[in-house]
Amino acid sequence: MRVVVVGASGNVGTAVLRRLATEPAVTSVVAVARRVPRADGSSTVGFPHDAATWRYADVAASDADERLDAAFAGADVVVHLAWAIQPSHDRRYLRRVNVEGTRRVVAAVRRAGVQHLVVASSVGAYSPARYAGEARDTPVSEAWPVDGVPGSSYSEDKAAVEALLDDVDRETGLVVSRVRSALVFQRDAASEISRYFLGPLGTRALRREPLPTVPLPGGLRLQVVHADDLADAYARIVVGRHPGPFNVAHPTVLTAQDVADVVADGSWREVPFGTARTALAAAWRARLVPVGEGWLDMAMRVPVLDMTFANELLRWAPVHEAKDTLAELVTGIRDGAGTSTPPLVPR
């Protein structure tokens, strides 16, 4: 089986490469990225990255079609992970990469005659919790509406990609899989995540070990998944050619107290949601933090995921505990951890 991974050098992509390198059914892997491990496209970063053939492609560039066509030639499966979160102030660029870039990947898959497309979606694609009278913390299946959380550019783009894939699903001949994951953490991605979401001020603050206390919105709850556990789900979907959407997360829901246990020895102070939102919006507009209030809106409103479908069809279950996964990321940020692919390198 020949697998092409688009967006292979990032958080999820590196984990998927690790997992595919151990999968007997996968005979070759082509790793596609806008930032490849070396300018000439070859890999010198070590196993498992040197088990893949690297190709450059920017899904938002004018030559994307030509480069994707070359990368997809002879592929059995394309796994599309490429996604832009920064620069968060450039909404047009994010839309061009995330939605139009996915459209171009779909078109290239069709031209190449690839039989299976696997696309990274997210819990952020889902409509807010408390939909149709459901309790906020009632786990939802893959049947939950995927209209996104208004005001969150990330969520709106994920919902737009889901709508695009609905059109593809209605056509014959192409198996389409969607992976709707929770927050994805691993130590190797610590530097990237701190740059994308915390910025210099937040990173310096978190590196105080432990924090004396941490301000958090009341009602905060999070689901996470370790990148290696998520990669295992991707591999099972690829090898089994399983269609359809899959929720992928650890079933444990982390609360504000859990977050405080990891970063501040359990000490936290509740901040009203409105106060936290206003402060974050002002800080983002002043370019003091890298993400704005839409991310907080999404974090507070997305539903809890039910993993029954992935458990039963894929025989998938997470190995890493939720709180341990968060602690691994926080320790990695404090250590300045990363790895040698360009998006994940510490700097």
Judging by beta carbons within 10 Å of its beta carbon (0-12, 13-18, 19+), is residue 311 exposed, middle or buried? middle
Residue 295 has pLDDT above 90, yes or no: yes
Beta-bridge partners for 33: 56
What average pLDDT is seen over the chain? 93
Question: Rounded distance, CA 249 to CA 318, Å?
Answer: 8
Q: How confident is the model over 53-87, as pLDDT tens digits?
A: 999 999 999 999 999 999 999 999 999 999 999 99
Q: How confident is the model over 168-194, as pLDDT tens digits?
A: 977 767 999 999 999 999 999 999 999
CA-atom Rg of the chain in angstroms = 19
- pLDDT number for residue 173: 79
Question: Rounded distance, CA 172 to CA 113, Å?
Answer: 12
* 52 alpha-carbon distance from chain centroid: 21
214 contacts 269 by C-beta, under 8 angstroms: yes
Question: Rounded distance, CA 175 to CA 192, Å?
Answer: 32
Model-level pTM? Answer: 0.95
Please name each of the domains of the chain with its CATH number. Answer: 2-181+226-249+304-319 (3.40.50.720)
309 contacts 142 by C-beta, under 8 angstroms: yes
User: Please, which pLDDT band fits residue 208 given cuts at 50, 70 and 90?
Assistant: confident
Q: What average pLDDT does this structure show over 142-162? A: 97
- pLDDT number for residue 172: 67
Question: Rounded distance, CA 230 to CA 310, Å?
Answer: 11
Helices (H), 151-270: 153-169, 190-193, 199-206, 227-240, 256-263
Give the largest Cα separation in the chain, rounded. Answer: 57
> CA end-to-end span of the chain, whole Å?
36
Listing DSSP states for 60-113 in one string gives TSTTHHHHHHHHHTT-SEEEE------STT-HHHHHIIIIIHHHHHHHHHHHHT
Q: Which residue in this structure is represented by tokens 């800080």?
A: 283
Q: How confident is the model over 240-293, as pLDDT tens digits?
A: 999 999 999 999 999 999 999 999 999 999 999 999 999 999 999 999 999 999
Share of the chain above pLDDT 70, in %: 95
- Coil, strand, or helix at residue 79? strand
Question: Rounded distance, CA 188 to CA 258, Å?
Answer: 22
Single out the residue of 296, 303, 221, 299 nearest to residue 257, CA to CA.
Answer: 221
